[in-house]
Every structure is written in structure tokens, then in C-alpha cells.
Chains A and B, each alone.
Chain A
Amino acid sequence: MVIRLRLARFGKRRAPVYNIVVTHARTARGSKPLEVIGTYDPIAKPPPEDVGGKPIKDIQLDTARAKYWLGVGAQPSDPVWRLLSMYGLIEPQWTVARIKAAAGEEAVKSKEPKPKKKKVEGEGEGEGEGEQ
């Protein structure tokens, strides 16, 4: 079964808060996940009065665990993809956002995909061929 990184809704009516969870894709939204790696509060808090500016939305994320799960093939849902790309863990999903991020217009510059390293000889030739 596919492992997904997705949001699980908590909170009350009209006051959602989300856990960023690692779960099997076919389990229910409210079921117990493999791991909770963060939270997301979609309701913006007003900016500090003395500073001003735009309202603030909070995200918490265990970036090390997120990187691990992405590395082993977990698939983020669209909203989680958006959050992860803000941390610079993956490229933005949509072309427009990707172009903006590359041009430095967006606040977060996502990492460029690294060029594939050449396999050292004698280190699993079969795998190397499989990637190509």
C-alpha cells in the first residue's frame, strides 16, 4: 500500500487544525497514522500590533522525518506538497509556482534537483541500470 504524507483534520467546527501525518493511503482520515510529523493551523493569526504586516499562519514540521519519508517514496498530498515546498524540501508542484520559485520571486527557493551521480563501479550494477 502507498504511504502518503497528508493532513488529518482536528479541532472543532469552523476551527480546523491539522496534523501532518504519515499514513497508509487507504486508511481513514481520522485513523491512527504511522507517525505525526507536524501540525498546520490554517486560521491566520492577526499580526503583532506593534509590527503590523500580514496575518500569520503557523506550520510545524519535523524536517528530518519528512525528508526520510520522501526519500523512501512516500507521496505527499497536494496541500502537504505545498507546505513541504515552503520548507524547501521538494520543488513546488505546479509549474507557475515552480517558475516563480526558480526566478526568486517566491520567498522560498526550492532546491534544484541534483544531477544524478555516476554510480561507482562494483556497487550494484543492476540498480544503476534500473535507474537509467
Chain B
Amino acid sequence: MPPRIRLPTTVAAPSRRAALTSPAARRTLSTTPARRARESGDAEDDNVKFDKNKQAVENFKSWLRGPGENFKKPLYYEMNYISSYDRKTWQRVGTDKDRMNIPFPLNPAFRSHPVLSEELKEEIYLRIMGSGRSVRSVSAELGVGLERVAAVTRLKAVEKQWIAEGKPIATYLTKALHMMLPVTKLVAEGEIQPFHENLQDIPSHPLSHRQAFVPVSESRVFTRADAGKEFGLPPAEEVVPHPDLIELHREKSYGLDLNERIDKQRERDRRAAARREERERKAKAKRRERGQLIEKGRWVWRLKEATTGAVGHRYGVPHEDRKKGQIKIPTKVL
């Protein structure tokens, strides 16, 4: 909850000044009898205090009925911070997201990170599970980070399964978040989806945390790739989550026309798919090599597939362990 800040109102809170001019302090200073008579009546002072409190409560209640309604019934899919409203007129401060997004008015540099709207989450799920698109391409199109796309897909799958099973799903937290934080909404078809977050962030690698002084001749072109080699790392444009976006931008700056760029991107997609298939094929072969593990009774049984002709101990081949020159002790220590 954002901190409450003092508002420029006439409501009298017990201030430091009031404490200084307490009746006891004033009593010693007062000289005229009339004043003395007034000040000596403590009951009267209490009444004044009581009235002040009452007034404060009244003011508070009227604030709750007036501008406070905005916070009691917050807008959905909008930010409802105190800084989202003009503090004099209690109107919303325009449509500038950045100006509204100050949850802690005493820390104006802090911005809260947006969350995905329900429609956008659904769209991510449909594109991945429905159209069978890759996580990377969906991430690039909708401007949502790779990990977030993967997480949304998994959680949506769980949600749908629960709905199918008739389990209740708790949506109040999501709804509450959508009434508090900035929300990235899904734009209408044909429009360009604004990026939810910076896609190309890469964590700084510990290997790059040292200073390196490399003498380089002036004539040499020292690129990011060379710098990476110095640190023993690949260049940044290769390790970012979306190297294709950089390539696309580069092609655009070279002045290739749209169709050519699309063709090149298709070719890149095809190569990526081929690489993925190859990886899966290898993983499958490895699984096959490892065999199927079955726990049964006292043992785990490792069932492997074999080929007749290549499997088994050979017939007609005697053991040679009694022959001269057979070494039976370990020859190597690990």
C-alpha cells in the first residue's frame, strides 16, 4: 500500500505548535485576570479539542464520500495510485502513463512494472498452443519476454485444465493487481502491439566483470565480437534472446525491401526448426540408449533395445584370462 502523505487541508492535526502552546505553558505567561479565568477552565479546553477531532472526522468522511470514492471503487485496468489523480481537483492526470505511475510519491523515481492483461495472456496461449508457433517468435511479436511467454503458456494450460475439471479458480488476486498496477493490453488487430518489456536484456556475465586493457593497432577494426573474444564470451548480438530482431533491423538499415526481408526471416525460421528437430532426434536417441527404467520389486530394471546379430556373448570364443600376459590388476588409478 502506498504511504499516506500529508494533504494540504485545513484539518487540524495535533501539531508541534499546539504542543508548545499548551495550557500549562500559557498559564504562566498570561497576566490579565480575564485570560487567567479562561485558561484555568480545563473543561473548556477539552471541549475545543473534542470539537477539533470531530471536525477532522467529518472532514475525513466528506473526503471519503468525495475524492475518496476513486480509491474505494478503483478503475479496472487503470492505475489507481494517489499520483494518478491531481491532488487539488481530484481529476485523473491526463493519459500520460509515466506521470500516473508513481506509487510512492516520496520516491518519484520508482515505477511499478506493468502486468499482462487477461486478453494478452489468452492471445499468447492461443498462438503457442493453438497455432503451434515457437515461443521465440510469439515473444518477438507481442513484445513479451521469453520466460514470461513460457510461464503464461504453462499457467494458462493449468487454468484451462482446472476449468475443465470443474475446479474453482481464484481470480481475485489477478483482478486486484489489474486495479493497481499498469496493465499491458492487447491492441486491436492490425495495430502494432507495444512492447511489454525490454526483450533484449542480458544478464551481465561474471567473466566480463574484469577490466581488460588490450593494445590494438589503430588500423584494426575492433568490434563487439573481438571484445567478447577477449573475455571468452560470444558477442552480445548473438547471446541476446532475439538475435533475429537485430538481424532484421540490420537488413532494414541496409535498405532491403520488405519481401526480401520476409524471405530471409523465413529461411532463418526454417533453419531454426531444422536445428530443433536435430536436437530432439539426438535426445530421443540418447533416451533410447539409456533405456527404459522400471522399478519392480527389489531392483530397477533397465530395459534396452538390441539388434540380433550385434547383441550377446559370442560362441566359440574361450576366455583368455588364464593365458600368459593377461593383466588382471587395475592399470590406472582414477
From A17, A35, A63, contact of B313 by CB (8 A): A17
Interface stretch of the complex, out of A52-60, A73-81, A114-122, A123-131: A52-60
- Cβ–Cβ contact A87 & B303, under 8 A: yes
For the complex, would chain A's binding face be called helix, strand, loop or mixed by DSSP majority? strand
Contact indicator B299/A56 (Cβ below 8 Å) = yes
A6–B60 alpha-carbon span in the complex (Å): 92
* A70 interface residue per 8 A CB criterion: no
Contact partner of A37 (CB less than 8 A), chosen from B295, B301, B306, is: B306
Chain B 279-323, CB-CB to A under 8 Å as 1, else 0, gives: 000000000000101111011111111111101110110010100
A74-109 interface bits toward B, Cβ cutoff 8 Å, 1 = contact, 0 = none: 000000000000110000000000000000001110
Q: Could you tell me if B313 and A10 are in contact, using CB atoms closer than 8 angstroms?
A: yes
Contacts of B311 in A (CB 8 A): 36-39, 60, 62
Report the Cα distance A47→B295, complex, angstroms.
12
> Contacts A36-B311, A57-B299 known; A108 to B294 CB distance under 8 Å?
yes
Cβ A39 vs Cβ B300 within 8 A: no
Query: Which residue on chain B has the smallest CB distance to residue A19?
Result: B312
A53 touching B300 in the complex, CB below 8 Å, given contacts A38-B311, A62-B311: yes
CB distance from B184 to the nearest CB of A (A): 43
Q: Which residues of A contact B299 (CB under 8 A)?
A: 44, 54-57
The answer to whether A108 touches B308 (Cβ under 8 A) is no
Whether A111 is near chain B, meaning CB under 8 Å from some CB there, is: no
Compute the total of residue contacts between A and B using a CB distance below 8 Å: 80
Chain B interfacial residues counted at CB < 8 A: 24
Q: Interface residue count for A (Cβ, 8 Å)?
A: 32
Write the chain B residue with the least CB distance to A63.
B305
**A26 in the interface (beta carbon within 8 A):** no
Asked whether A59 lies within 8 Å of B300 as measured between CB atoms, the reply is no
Min distance, Cβ B314 to any Cβ of chain A, angstroms: 9
Task: Specify which of B294, B306, B321 is in contact with A60 (CB 8 Å cutoff).
Answer: B306
Partner of A32, one of B302, B313, B315: B315
CB contacts under 8 Å to B, within A5-44, are 10-12, 17, 19-21, 32, 35-39, 44
Q: Are B294 and A56 in contact (CB under 8 A)?
A: no
Interface pair A54/B300, CB less than 8 Å apart: yes
Contact B296 A86 (CB under 8 A): yes
Residues of A within 8 Å of B315, CB to CB, are 32
* A52, chain B: closest CB distance, angstroms: 11
Give the Cβ gap from A109 to chain B, nearest Cβ, in Å: 11
In the bound complex, CA of A11 to CA of B304 (Å):
20
Chain B residues contacting A38 (CB-CB under 8 Å) are 306, 311-312
Q: Cβ of A12: which chain B residues have Cβ within 8 Å of it? A: 319, 321
CB atoms of A47 and B300 under 8 A apart: yes
| A55 adjacent to B300 (CB under 8 Å) | yes
Interface presence of A3 (CB below 8 A)? no
> Is B303 in contact with A61, judged by CB distance below 8 angstroms?
yes
Contacts of A60 in B (CB 8 A): 304-306, 311
Cβ–Cβ < 8 Å partners of A106 in chain B: 296
Q: B291, B305, B312 — which one has the most chain A CB atoms within 10 A of its CB? A: B312
Contact B312 A107 (CB under 8 A): no
Q: Give the residues in chain A near B295, CB-CB below 8 Å.
A: 53-54, 107
| Distance of A32 Cα from B305 Cα, bound (Å) | 22
For A10, the chain B residues whose CB sits under 8 A away are 313
Taking a contact as CB atoms closer than 8 A, the residue among A20, A57, A62 that contacts B301 in the complex is A57
Residues in chain B within 8 A of chain A (CB atoms): 291, 293-296, 298-309, 311-313, 315-316, 319, 321
Interface CB pairs A-B, < 8 A, 10: A11-B313, A38-B312, A47-B300, A54-B300, A57-B299, A57-B302, A58-B304, A59-B304, A60-B305, A86-B296
The 9 closest A-B pairs by CB, nearest first: A36-B312, A60-B306, A10-B313, A107-B294, A19-B312, A62-B308, A60-B304, A54-B300, A56-B300
**11 more CB-based (< 8 A) A-B contacts, given A36-B309, A38-B306:** A10-B313, A36-B311, A39-B312, A47-B300, A57-B300, A62-B307, A62-B308, A86-B301, A106-B296, A107-B295, A108-B296
